[in-house]
C-alpha cells in the first residue's frame, strides 16, 4: 500500500507492505537511524517519536496508521551546531552513558515539558515511565529534564 | 509479524462490511494491545481493520452523564473531565506513550483482566454503546477476554452516569503498570457500587462490599469482609489469595479517598 507522511518537515510518499511498522519506515526507508529499536515490545521507549504532536512508541504503530501523519524524530529537533535545549541539558548534566535510550528519552522529555505543567522530580520520573535506561540510574536524566524545562 | 491485509475504512458501514468479507478479521483501535499480540505471533488475523478513520472521538457532557467516544485517547480522558475518578484512572494507565495511542473503546472491547477501565465501567454502572445496540455494564464482561459484544459489532462510545463520589485505587504491576488489582468505589444517592479489575478473569462487582458500604460508608465497614478468591488469577506477579487480599486493601484506600 502507498502511504504519505511528513517527517521532520519533508513529505514522503512510499509503497510499503501492509504489515510494516512505522519504525521500520523511519529507519529502513528514510534512513533516519537516530530512532532506535530496543525491546520491540513497546516497553523500553527507545523508539519514541512525535506523531501529530504526541510522543508515541513507533515500534507499536503500523505504517498504515501513520498515513497522513506529521512525524518528528530525534533528527528533527536540533543540529550538531545548534542542539535542542533538551539535548544540551542532557550533555551538560551527563544524562547519558551508552546513549542507546537517549533519542527516545529526549523525545519523551520534550513532550513532557511542552505539555506545560511545571515539573518536579516526581513528575519527571512518572512522565518518563515509558522509557527505560540501563546505565544511568535515571538520576542525571531527571536533573537534565528539570534543567531543560527552564530553557525551552 | 505474520502477513495480513491492512484496511482503513472511512465510515462504520464500510468497516463492518470489511469485517464481514474478511476470512478472519480483527478491528484495530489504538493498537496498544493488538500490535504487540501480532508481533508475538499470538494472533494471525487475515485482515486488520483500522477504525481510526471513524469519527468516534470526543467527550460529551449531558445533564447527568458523560459520554466518551470509543476512539478517545487515555491521555484525553486523563486531561480532565467531570468525573475526576475517571481522569485519575486514565492517568494511571500504562505510560505516557501508551496513553497517547490507547483508546477507551479498545480497552473495553478487549477486556484484558488487568485493564483499568473495566473497573470504572462496572462501578459507575456505564452503558456500552455499540453498533448492535447498548449493553449494560452488569451484562457486558463475561470472562477472560470475553464480552457481550456481538461478532462484528463495534463499540462506539461509553456513557458514564455522573457519580456522587467515586475513587479508583490500583496496585500496579511495577513494570507494565497493568492492575494486579484495581478497585473503584462509587456512591450516588446512597447507592454503592464496587468494581474490581485485575483480580478475576474479568471485571466484576464485589457485592458484599457494596452492601456493607451502603449501610455504613466508612473504611471500617470493610474490615473482616471475605473475598472469594477461588476463581481469581494466579501468576508470577501475585497468587489468587494475594489478589483476594488486595481487593480489600484497594477498596479501603478508595473509600478513604472520598469520605
CATH number at residue A109: 1.10.150.120
Residues B182 and B204: beta-carbon distance below 8 Å: no
Q: Which long-range contacts (CB under 8 A, 24 or more apart) does A118-127 make?
A: A118/A149, A119/A145, A119/A146, A119/A149, A120/A146, A121/A146, A127/B96
Asked whether the beta carbons of residue B6 and residue A64 sit closer than 8 angstroms, the reply is: yes
| A70 shares a domain with A91 | no
- Residues of chain B within CATH 3.30.390.50 domain(s) are 165-258
Residue B13 predicted with pLDDT over 90: yes
Four-way CATH pick for B5-53: 3.30.9.10, 3.30.1370.100, 3.30.43.10, 3.30.420.40:
3.30.43.10
Find cell 475518578 and name the residue: B85
Which residues, including other chains, have CB under 8 Å from residue B3's CB and lie 6 or more apart? Answer: A17, A18, A19
Quote the strand ranges of chain B, DSSP E. 5-7, 25-28, 47-50, 59-61, 65-69, 127-130, 133-136, 141-143, 146-147, 155-161, 165-172, 179-188, 191-197, 204-205
| C-beta atoms of B35 and A64 within 8 A | no
Contact B98 A108 (CB under 8 A): no
Q: Smallest CA–CA separation between A127 and chain B, in Å?
A: 6
Task: Please say which residue of A26, A58, A76 terminates a domain.
Answer: A76
pLDDT digits (tens, 9 = 90+) for A122-142: 999 999 999 999 999 999 999
Whole-model pTM: value is 0.96
Q: Where in chain B is CATH 3.30.465.10?
A: 59-161
Inform me whether the pLDDT recorded for B103 exceeds 90: yes
Q: How does pLDDT run across A54-100, given as a tens digit for each residue? A: 999 999 999 999 999 999 999 999 999 999 999 999 999 999 999 99
Give mean pLDDT, residues A106-118. 94
Q: Which domain holds residue A26?
A: 2-76
What pLDDT score does B175 carry? 84
Question: Is residue A108 within 8 angstroms of chain B, CB to CB?
Answer: yes
Span B10-14, average pLDDT: 96
Mutate to test the interface with B, among A17, A58, A62 (most CBs of B within 10 A): A62
Interface test with B, best of A2, A18, A125 (most B CBs within 10 A): A18
Q: Which long-range contacts (CB under 8 A, 24 or more apart) does B247-253 make?
A: B247/B181, B247/B183, B247/B196, B247/B199, B247/B206, B248/B222, B249/B171, B250/B169, B250/B170, B250/B171, B250/B181, B250/B182, B250/B183, B251/B169, B251/B183, B251/B185, B251/B194, B251/B206, B251/B209, B251/B222, B252/B219, B252/B222, B253/B169, B253/B183
Per CATH, the number for B59-161 is: 3.30.465.10
Beta strand B47-50 with B25-28: parallel, antiparallel or unpaired? parallel
From the list A132, A141, A126, A142, the residue with the least C-alpha distance to A42 is A132
- Fold observed for domain B165-258: Enolase-like; domain 1 (3.30.390)
Q: If we measure between CA atoms, which residue out of A6, A2, A25 comes closest to residue A14?
A: A2
At B209 the pLDDT is 98
Q: Which of A17, A42, A112 sits opposite B96 (nearest CB)?
A: A112
pLDDT digits (tens, 9 = 90+) for B172-204: 998 888 999 999 999 999 999 999 999 999 999
Give all strands of the β-sheet with B47-50 in edge-to-edge order: B5-7, B47-50, B25-28
Residues of chain A positioned with their CB less than 8 A from the CB of B52? 65
CB neighbour list of residue B255: distance below 8 Å, 6 or more residues apart:
B167, B185, B213, B217, B218, B219, B221, B222
| pLDDT value for A117 | 87
Flag whether pLDDT at B227 surpasses 90. yes
Answer yes or no: do A29 and A68 share one domain. Answer: yes
The ipTM, to two decimals, is 0.96
If asked whether residues A115 and A62 sit together in one domain, one would say no
My answer on whether A6 and A46 are in the same domain is yes
For chain B, residues classed under CATH 3.30.43.10 are 5-53
User: What pLDDT shows up at residue B174?
Assistant: 87
* Of the residues A38, A59, A76, the one at which a domain ends: A76
Facing B101 at nearest CB: one of A21, A40, A56: A56
Last residue of a domain, one of A76, A94, A126: A76
Domain count, chain A: 2
Nearest CA in chain A to B33: A60
Amino acid at each position: 500500500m502507498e502511504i504519505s507522511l511528513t517527517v521532520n518537515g519533508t513529505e514522503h510518499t512510499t509503497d510499503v507492505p501492509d504489515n510494516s511498522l512505522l519504525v521500520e519506515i523511519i529507519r529502513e526507508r528514510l534512513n533516519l537511524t537516530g530512532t532506535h529499536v530496543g525491546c520491540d515490545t513497546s516497553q523500553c521507549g527507545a523508539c519514541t517519536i512525535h506523531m501529530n504532536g504526541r510522543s508515541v512508541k513507533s515500534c507499536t504503530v503500523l505504517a498504515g496508521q501513520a498515513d497522513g501523519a506529521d512525524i518528528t524524530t530525534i533528527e528533527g529537533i536540533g543540529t550538531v551546531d545548534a542542539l535542542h535545549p533538551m539535548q544540551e541539558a542532557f550533555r551538560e548534566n551527563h544524562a547519558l552513558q551508552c546513549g542507546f535510550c537517549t533519542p527516545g528519552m529526549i523525545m519523551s522529555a520534550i513532550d513532557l515539558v511542552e505539555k506545560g505543567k511545571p515539573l518536579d522530580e516526581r513528575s519527571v520520573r512518572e512522565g518518563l515511565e515509558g522509557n527505560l535506561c540501563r546505565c544511568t540510574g535515571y538520576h542525571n536524566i531527571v536533573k537534565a529534564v528539570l534543567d531543560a524545562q527552564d530553557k525551552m | 509479524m505474520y502477513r495480513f491485509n491492512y484496511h482503513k475504512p472511512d465510515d462504520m458501514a464500510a468497516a463492518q462490511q470489511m469485517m464481514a468479507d474478511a476470512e478472519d478479521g480483527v478491528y484495530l483501535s489504538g493498537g496498544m494491545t493488538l500490535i504487540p499480540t501480532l508481533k508475538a505471533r499470538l494472533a494471525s488475523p487475515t485482515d486488520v481493520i483500522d477504525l481510526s478513520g471513524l469519527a468516534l472521538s470526543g467527550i460529551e457532557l449531558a445533564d447527568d452523564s458523560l459520554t466518551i467516544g470509543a476512539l478517545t485517547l487515555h491521555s484525553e480522558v486523563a486531561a480532565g473531565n467531570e468525573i475526576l475518578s475517571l481522569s485519575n484512572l486514565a492517568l494511571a494507565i500504562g505510560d505516557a506513550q501508551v496513553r497517547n495511542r490507547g483508546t477507551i473503546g479498545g480497552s473495553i472491547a478487549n477486556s484484558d483482566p488487568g485493564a483499568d477501565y473495566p473497573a470504572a465501567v462496572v462501578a459507575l454502572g456505564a452503558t456500552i454503546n455499540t453498533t448492535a445496540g447498548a449493553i449494560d455494564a452488569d451484562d457486558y464482561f463475561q470472562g477472560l477476554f470475553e464480552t457481550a459484544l456481538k461478532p462484528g459489532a463495534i463499540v462506539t462510545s461509553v456513557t458514564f452516569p455522573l457519580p456522587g463520589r467515586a475513587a479508583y485505587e490500583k496496585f500496579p504491576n511495577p513494570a507494565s503498570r497493568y492492575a494486579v488489582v484495581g478497585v473503584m468505589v462509587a456512591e450516588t444517592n446512597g447507592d454503592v457500587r464496587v468494581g474490581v479489575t485485575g483480580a478475576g478473569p474479568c471485571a466484576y462487582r464485589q457485592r458484599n462490599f457494596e452492601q456493607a458500604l451502603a449501610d455504613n460508608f466508612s473504611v471500617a465497614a470493610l474490615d473482616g469482609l471475605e473475598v472469594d478468591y477461588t476463581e481469581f488469577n494466579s501468576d508470577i506477579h501475585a497468587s489468587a489469595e494475594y489478589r483476594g487480599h488486595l481487593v480489600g486493601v484497594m477498596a479501603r484506600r478508595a473509600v478513604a479517598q472520598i469520605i
